[in-house]
Amino acid sequence: MPESALNVTGWSPSKGGLDDESAMRSRGFRRSASTDARARALASLVFAGLLLSATASRAMAQTGTVSGSTLYTFGSTVSQNESNYTLYYSMPQVIHAGVKTNMTFYVYLTLLSGWKIQSQTQILQIIINTPSKQVITRQTQNNVTLYQGGRWGPFNMTLNFNDSQAGLSAGQVTNATVFANLVVYEAYDDPAAPFVHDSGATLKLATVQMVATPGGSEASAARLFASLAVGAAVVAVLAGVVVATRRKTRGP
């Protein structure tokens, strides 16, 4: 066949093959770029879901504790019949209505002087004052005889109250003052007639926050549903990332 006939048709095997290959590469690049964009978007959603979940967990958690000590002095330095008790305490900074809360205490008998020779019984009761109500725990009693340097504890006392008992309305947060009432029965070695005498005092321990039940059972159900929804969204997003990654690995 003459060479001019080939030039008239304009047919070139190499040119057609290059066009097809270029088009396939272009489509593959677009698919890869689209897959990368979807993967980045899905990863952003995962991060947002995890951030929301962590924030919700922190909001539900109690924030820190309050701890310290206070000194109880019974008797008189004039008569030299004096005794000192140091009460150590630890409790949550935020106390929630409807949630059983443990407070930890221990009592040191740091001084017995004069005719006082032993502490036969110690009784502790916690009182929490809100702006409108007073929450009182049950008494906790120790019947083990203590001498100077002796200790009672550590032991826990459980606080359990509802909104009405604390004078709280739904969703309310208020400051409250915690007091401890300590009563002791001490033996006096009076040469004329030994006896046992009781002494007691109520002292301030700390200021805490009391939080009402947030909206009752309906709010609790709503929080549960929201938590489940966040969890389901995170799972779905993770599944999407896996599928997108597999498609990208397989290629066009």
108 domain-assigned? yes
- One domain for residues 84 and 127: yes
- One domain for residues 149 and 171: yes
54 lies in which domain range?
A: 30-61+219-252
**Buried-exposed string 81-117: b where 16+ CB fall within 10 A, e elsewhere:** bbbbbebbbbbbebbbbeeebebebebbbbbbebbbe
Q: How many CB atoms lie within 10 A of CB 124?
A: 22
24 domain-assigned? no
- One domain for residues 76 and 170: yes
- One domain for residues 127 and 237: no
78 domain-assigned? yes
182 domain-assigned? yes
- One domain for residues 227 and 205: no
205 domain-assigned? yes
Total domain count, the chain: 2
For the stretch 63-105, pLDDT in tens is: 699 999 999 999 977 778 999 999 999 999 999 999 999 999 9
- One domain for residues 100 and 200: yes
- One domain for residues 69 and 145: yes
232 domain-assigned? yes
What pTM value is reported for the model? Answer: 0.62
1 domain-assigned? no
140 domain-assigned? yes
For the stretch 170-219, pLDDT in tens is: 889 999 999 999 999 999 998 888 899 999 999 999 999 999 987 644 44
